Structure 1
Amino acid sequence: MSLALQTFSTVKDANAALQAAGTRYLGGGTLVVRAANEGDVSTSSLVRVTDPG
């Protein structure tokens, strides 16, 4: 299983990327990395924002 990490500078761009199936937001307090490490194959891509403000 491969897991892609996409980084965006704006929330608007990240939100557009989150419309794709299998994409999850990576932020503080999320359990998405834990799930991936445990073998959850429903996530294929992680999205993060460098400046959420």
Structure 2
Amino acid sequence: MNEKEERILTTIAMLIPKMSEPEKMYLLGQAEGMALMKKKQQAAEEKKETELQKV
């Protein structure tokens, strides 16, 4: 994990106890959405690499 990622996680960890339940649920939804998009992006890159190797 790089320094930027560590700062982000530290900031989130400090803010979560101060958040309301709806704010926590919103943050969770955003994080899950970002994780899903990253997973799809990686799958598309792997598919592209596989297709290039076949050629």
Larger radius of gyration between Structure 1 and Structure 2: 2
Whether TM exceeds 0.5 here: the answer is no
Higher RCO (C-alpha 8 Å, min separation 6): 1
Q: TM-score, normalised by structure 2?
A: 0.27
Structure with the higher fraction of residues in helix conformation: 2
Structure with the higher fraction of residues in strand conformation: 1
